[in-house]
A = this chain, B = another copy of it.
Amino acid sequence: MSAKQPTIKEIAKRLNISISTVSRALHDHSSIGLRTKTRVKELAKELKYEPNQAAIFFQQRKTFTIGVILPFLSELFFSSAISGIEDVAVKSQYTVLLGQSRDDANREKHIIETMKKHRVDGIIISISKHTTNYEHFNRLRQSGIPVVFFDCIPNMTDIHYVACNMVSGTVQATSFLLKNGHRVIGLINGPEKLYASKQRQEGYQIAMSKHRLKYDPSLIVNSDLTKEGSRKAVKELLEHKRKVTAIVTFNDYVALDAMQYADAQQVAINKDVCFVSYSNLPMVEYLKYSPMASVEQNPYLQGQKATEMLLELLQKKEEDQTDNSSYKIIIDSHLVEYKQ
């Protein structure tokens, strides 16, 4: 049924020439005569010869594969990012080896091991929310496998990354509310440890002080990003002694849960209390309630940039430049207002 794939050797034997000649002929090497070239190419086509990539990978110590590790594929943010990654990768003949960490540190570690075994040329990763030990990243560095972080970035020095400027995004989001006359604005933030949470808090504070308003820490509450956590958080804000008229949420999923809870409490969404968030959401137009505005994080662009960065690093590595600088790209986010 499945005859063995023909090899360069096979072609050489049939044409009664040497293996190296065949190889060179197929690569249009200048030192091969025209007649031989065409003879080789014709036979190759006839036999449906295809180079054995596995052999080439091995020979070249390169697999043209990049590993991509994401917490969840099913979130639009990540699936958009991976689209961006794939698009850029494909253009440069790279393929994508996929891993889903499900926000589980062990799974993440295991995936990285597997990818290392597979000798991926490089890795793009948004780390799991629960990754606190960075040992495996150090090991990657030791193995000389370039890593580009994006979105969720570890607290390490000398790393390459692409990220979205959440500070300015949050400033915009908060300012938007302030301009609309809100004065008591709550922030449902993510877990305190996350860098992303810190940035949001910073942005919130900046916006407040820009408008010469006192910063009230009790207006910032944390959600563990579960439904229950978000409900608790919004409850706290709704019951706050000062009348909260607007809320910035860590992301759209939090916003949905918060709005759902508020709605159940007879709060008129975006009237009694306005919501502003970060956009991860598909299908906004079909939703029962959506935030008034969201900070766009451009996941597709982030994916593209991360991939371009990685390809550049690979290029540099190939040219054996021992440049120790770390690459950083910070993408600006901007507020998108939704039609209500």
Out of B57, B65, B74, which one reaches A83, CB within 8 Å?
Answer: B74
Q: CB-defined interface of A25-63 with B at 8 Å, one 1/0 digit per residue?
A: 000000000000000000000001011111101100101
Does A185 sit within 8 A of B, measured CB to CB?
Answer: no
| A residues 91-130 touching B (CB-CB < 8 Å) | 93, 95-100, 110, 114-119
Query: Judging by beta carbons under 8 Å apart, are A99 and B83 in contact?
Result: no
Closest-by-CB residue of B relative to A2 is B144
Does A206 sit within 8 A of B, measured CB to CB?
Answer: no
Alpha-carbon separation in the docked complex, A110 to B89 (Å): 13
Q: CB-defined interface of A239-261 with B at 8 Å, one 1/0 digit per residue?
A: 00000000000000000100010
Closest-by-CB residue of B relative to A64 is B118
Query: Judging by beta carbons under 8 Å apart, are A86 and B65 in contact?
Result: no
| A residues 314-339 touching B (CB-CB < 8 Å) | 322, 324
Alpha-carbon separation in the docked complex, A283 to B283 (Å): 10
Query: Judging by beta carbons under 8 Å apart, are A97 and B100 in contact?
Result: no
Copies per complex of this chain = 2
A152 → chain B closest CB, angstroms: 18
| A residues 1-39 touching B (CB-CB < 8 Å) | 1-3, 5
| A residues 258-274 touching B (CB-CB < 8 Å) | 260
Query: Judging by beta carbons under 8 Å apart, are A118 and B53 in contact?
Result: yes
Known: A144-B1, A288-B288. A82 touches B86 (CB 8 A): no
Does A133 sit within 8 A of B, measured CB to CB?
Answer: no
Query: Judging by beta carbons under 8 Å apart, are B86 and A79 in contact?
Result: no
In the complex, how many residues of chain A place their beta carbon closer than 8 angstroms to a beta carbon of chain B?
A: 57
Query: Within 8 Å CB of A55, what residues of B?
Result: 58
Query: Judging by beta carbons under 8 Å apart, are A54 and B119 in contact?
Result: yes
Does A287 sit within 8 A of B, measured CB to CB?
Answer: yes
Does A80 sit within 8 A of B, measured CB to CB?
Answer: yes
Out of B3, B98, B118, B283, which one reaches A86, CB within 8 Å?
Answer: B98
Alpha-carbon separation in the docked complex, A285 to B53 (Å): 48
Known: A96-B98, A322-B1. A282 touches B74 (CB 8 A): yes
Query: Judging by beta carbons under 8 Å apart, are B282 and A256 in contact?
Result: no
Interface centre among A5, A48, A51, by most chain B C-beta atoms within 10 angstroms, is A5
Known: A55-B58, A288-B288. A116 touches B76 (CB 8 A): no
Out of B54, B79, B143, B285, which one reaches A5, CB within 8 Å?
Answer: B143
Interface centre among A50, A58, A76, A95, by most chain B C-beta atoms within 10 angstroms, is A95
6 A-B pairs with the lowest CB-CB distances in the bound complex, closest first: A2-B144, A74-B79, A58-B58, A98-B98, A73-B79, A54-B58
What are 16 inter-chain pairs, A to B, with CB distance below 8 A?
A2-B141, A2-B142, A3-B142, A50-B117, A54-B54, A72-B79, A73-B73, A74-B83, A82-B98, A83-B100, A90-B110, A97-B97, A97-B98, A282-B282, A286-B288, A288-B288
Mark A residues whose CB is within 8 Å of B. Answer: 1-3, 5, 48, 50-55, 57-58, 61, 63-65, 68, 72-74, 76, 79-80, 82-83, 86, 90, 93, 95-100, 110, 114-119, 141-144, 256, 260, 282-283, 285-289, 322, 324
